[in-house]
Copies of this chain bind each other. A is one copy, B any other.
Amino acid sequence: MKETVLLAYSGGLDTSCILLWLLEKGYEVVCLIADVGQDEDFEAARRKALKIGAKEVIVARVKKDFVLNYIFPAVAMGLLYERRYLLGTSLARPCISEALVECAKARGIKLISHGATGKGNDQVRFELSCYALYPEFSVIAPWRIPEFCERFQGRDDLLAYAKANGIEVEATPKAPWSMDANFMHISYESGVLEDPAHIAPEDLYKMTRGPSEWPDKPTIIEVEFARGIPVAVIKDKVRTEDPVAIVELLNRIGGDHGVGRIDIVENRFVGLKSRGIYETPGVKILFEAHLDLELVCLDREVLRVKSFISDRMADFVYNGFWFSPEGTFSRQCLQLSQENVSGTVTMEIFKGVARPIARRAVRGLYNEELVSMNVHGGYTPASAGGFIEIHSIRLKEFSKAFGTYTK
């Protein structure tokens, strides 16, 4: 009796060839296509897989799950990898993995396969997530199997294999880079982008318009948060509350203004440095708005402990440890930190920039009277003298013991 493999299928050339190859190897293959909000003809992908020989094809509609359980919590946690990357791909992987595990468990499947490469992060993220959620799983990662790698040494080999076996191939020539899209972002890497000194062409970007198309007027919106989670966007007096609609709206606004583009070199978990280009229009707006509100609502020292955990969590998520003891623990701590982060931030989105310009907390720690230059507000300036004097003791002692400070 044939063993069944669950294949994370995208409809593209790679996973189509892998599907066929798995069939050749004697497996029965169930395909799962995850809809995490990418712009894709899922029905066509489904038909394609069935035509190649998949036993069953499931389209898992996890877009809303992705928003509610990954994107919004990431905003609340303030996750930013290496100070710049909003983790759009990293967050989608555990979400897709959950769908894979659910599907596999329901069918008693214990083998999983995917098209992630052997040098990348995604193999790690998929597999760690699956192992965590379903420790009995085994993995077939063709791009790590010498036999497979030798047979398919480049795109041309895949194309030839596809043609020889009647697999449809997109007519349009492939861009000279690879791309991964979801509801949160699109990432671009590989190909000509592998040279970090190669400037990416303007027409690479799909979610965000270029400067020549940017509107001449700013878009002003209000973003409302409750316990760190976005709950509404108000634009032109229209209030949007549905989580998916919020991201859609912000993707449109941010996209129009070209918000959220980055072009970076980053550290992969497998020890390589890679160059990636990302556009994350909507979530960049949410991220900046949340950071702004947080400073109003969080105590200074809580912010510092939270920041440390947030930086660690960003690493955990990037490296594939969303589902892990440390991921779970950090998530719970970060969630705790958000209890008081409720309020509204006014954002100006204009020509590539999303900038908070005003904010109002439900209950915050900003005390206008206390900070005012015009009224005392309960503050005794004279006390600051003692404060400074006591803080200066260590500094003076050090000077006395070890001599003057060098620049």
**A contacts, CB < 8 Å to B:** 69, 82-84, 98, 117-119, 123-124, 127-128, 131-133, 135, 139, 141, 143-146, 149, 154, 178, 190-191, 194-200, 211, 214, 218, 261-268, 270-275, 291-292, 295-296, 298-309, 311-312, 315-316, 320-321, 323-330, 332-333, 336-337, 340, 346, 350-353, 355-360, 363-368, 370-374, 379-402, 404-407
Contacts and interface: CB of A to CB of B under 8 A. Distances in A.
B200 A211 contact: no
B301 A394 contact: yes
Given A305-B329, A373-B119, A394-B300, A383 B380 contact: no
B190 A373 contact: yes
Given A312-B305, A326-B301, A400-B135, A263 B355 contact: yes
A380 B388 CA distance: 12
B270 A295 contact: no
A270 B388 CA distance: 9
Given A302-B325, A358-B199, A296 B271 contact: no
Give the oligomeric copy count: 4
Greatest chain B CB density within 10 A among A363, A368, A398 is at: A398
Nearest to A300: B267
Contacts of A355: 261-263
A127 B388 contact: yes
A229 to B, nearest CB: 14
Given A379-B393, A386-B385, A326 B305 contact: yes
Contacts of A296: 196, 265, 273
Contact of A198 (B191, B298, B309, B358): B358
A117 B271 CA distance: 24
A279 to B, nearest CB: 12
A372 to B, nearest CB: 5
B365 A273 contact: yes
